[in-house]
Amino acid sequence: MKSSTTALTEAIYYILLALQEPLHGYGIMQKTSAMSRGRLTLSAGTLYGAISNLLEKGWIIPCGESSDSDGRRKMYQITPLGQEVLTAEYERLTELVENGKAIINRE
């Protein structure tokens, strides 16, 4: 089932990339910030809305809880459907870059 034909926002793209492995909310914030070299700093409020949205679409699922010194936190991971959407977005972005290269770098 194709769930999205529109472009993903940068935040959603990075969250799906981060969730290739199980992570809790704070872990997602840290990983997305590290991947974008500090450029994308997700706030907890924004992240909550994004996670709720992704859960509703079935692109991510809860996968247990982490138990550390800061208490119990719910973990999330990407689903096969989410992976399909992420791959489609990666291909779309690649096409954008290739088309840009062909025109912008033309002498």
Partner 1 sequence: MKTRKIAIKWFVDFDKEEQWLNDMSKAGWAFWHTNGVIYRFKKCAPEEFIYQIDFDEQKPEKGGEDYVVFRSSCGDKFVHQWKRKIYWKREAAAGPFEAENNISAKLRLTNKAFNYHLNSFIGLTLIAAFAFLVLMPLGRHLPESDFARWLAEFSTGLTYGILIAELVILLPALRKLHKKINELIGQIF
Can you give the binding site for partner 1, defined by CB under 8 A?
9, 11, 24-26, 29, 41, 43-49, 51-52, 55-56, 58, 61-62, 70-71, 73-74
Are 54 and 41 a contacting pair, CB within 8 Å? no
Minimum separation from the CB atom of position 37 to partner 1 (A)? 15
Other CB atoms within a 10 A radius of the CB of residue 97 amount to: 11
- Quick one: 38 or 107, whose CB is closer to partner 1? 38
Minimum separation from the CB atom of position 87 to partner 1 (A)? 22
Q: How big is the chain, counted in residues?
A: 107
Q: How far is CA 37 from the centre of its chain?
A: 15
Minimum separation from the CB atom of position 99 to partner 1 (A)? 21
What is the separation, in whole angstroms, between the first and last Cα of the chain? 43
- Quick one: 74 or 101, whose CB is closer to partner 1? 74
